Amino acid sequence: MKPNLLVARPIFEEVLARLREHFNVTDNQADHAWTLDEWKAQLSQHAGALTTGADPINKDVLAVCPQLKAVANMAVGFNNFDVPAMTAHGVQASNTPDVLTETTADFGFALLMATARRLTESEHFLRRGEWKQWRYDMFAGAEVHGSTLGILGMGRIGQGIAKRGAHGFGMKVIYHNRSRLSAAQEAECKARYVSKEELLRSADHVVLVLPYSAESHHAMGAAELAQMKPTATLVNIARGGIVDDAALAQALRNRTIAAAGLDVFEGEPKVHPDLLTVPNVVLTPHIASASIATRMAMANLAADNLISFFTQGRAITPLNTLGA
């Protein structure tokens, strides 16, 4: 008998077809926004689930889902998972690392450039019909080539951004991470390890690529923003909650920093209203990995994790190890 599987959000029909070969699938192709109670009720009827970063798997959810055996997150981040609780309940957790690294690094660098060169501000100016003549200082932004790139969080995506900056734009790369890279990795990225404080003081462009956790909550708040250069930019492609969005909006309004580019937000899809009223910010709706090829690869890896668990007893890219 096929296990029951819940697919929490719309995915590619081709991937659903693959899953239906192995599971009795309940899908949400209509993209119904379940309440927490509806989510619990849906999930409680299934042995497996394919989730996104918006779908919580925590103690309260697990308590009403005794049938649940495996959950595959279609994302590299997994702050929606309480992994220790999942392990305690005997539930396999998995994510989709590696397949989105290069596409996300591409987008991170694109957002950095759009922020530095004031693309959003200048496009809105043009669309409003305000462009009447050329001026030497019209939307003059910050240099990217040859500037100092500071990366907080130097995992695969951070390293990808570092290589683009160092090798493609001649940037001086500095980074801070929980653990220092090997000498070979630093050489490949042309990156130098520094303290967080030195990074904030020295960087012309700060890019956040660190995972979200209780420790990294509001890792960029008013105090940290005040340490940055007034000419510097901040880019967040990591997770909402790492930046204190209210403090950032105030810093942008006060020109404590020059500009910001954000792909993620606290409480998304809601966006702090103050961020919508400042001109010097580029806002995108969590699309850093959004190429068709990459999203297909993410969906297929999530499906492979579920198929592998229910046929072989272990996910391909597990986040936890279950007892024998």
Q: Interhelix angle for 13-20 vs 292-312, to 10°?
A: 10
pLDDT score for 53 = 83
Q: Considering the domain 101-283 in this protein, what is its CATH number? A: 3.40.50.720
φ/ψ of 77, rounded to 5, equals -75, 155
pLDDT score for 324 = 56
pLDDT digits (tens, 9 = 90+) for 301-321: 999 999 999 999 999 999 999
Q: What is the pTM of this model?
A: 0.92
- Point out which residues pair with 282 in neighbouring strands: 261
Q: Per the residue annotation, which of 18, 118, 176, 239 is the catalytic one?
A: 239
> How far is 130 from 107, CA to CA, in rounded Å?
29
pLDDT digits (tens, 9 = 90+) for 213-229: 889 999 999 999 999 99
Q: Per the residue annotation, which of 198, 217, 268, 314 is the catalytic one?
A: 268
- Which two three-digit tokens encode residue 9? 């959000």
Task: Check if 205 is active-site.
Answer: no
Q: Which residues of the chain are under the pLDDT cut of 70?
A: 324
Task: Check if 286 is active-site.
Answer: yes
- Which two three-digit tokens encode residue 236? 């967040």
- Which two three-digit tokens encode residue 208? 């956040």
Helix then strand then coil, in percent of the chain rounded to 5, is 35, 15, 45
Task: Check if 268 is active-site.
Answer: yes
For domain 4-99+292-312, the question of CATH label 3.40.190.10 is answered with: no
Domain with CATH 3.40.50.720 in the chain: 4-99+292-312, 101-283
Q: Per the residue annotation, which of 9, 46, 286, 295 is the catalytic one?
A: 286
- CB of 57 closer than 8 Å to CB of 6: no
Could you tell me how many residues make up the chain? 324
- CB of 259 closer than 8 Å to CB of 112: no
Return the closest-CA partner of residue 76 out of 286, 281, 222, 292.
286
The helix or strand, by DSSP H or E, that contains position 93, with its residue range, turns out to be: strand 92-94
- Point out which residues pair with 120 in neighbouring strands: none
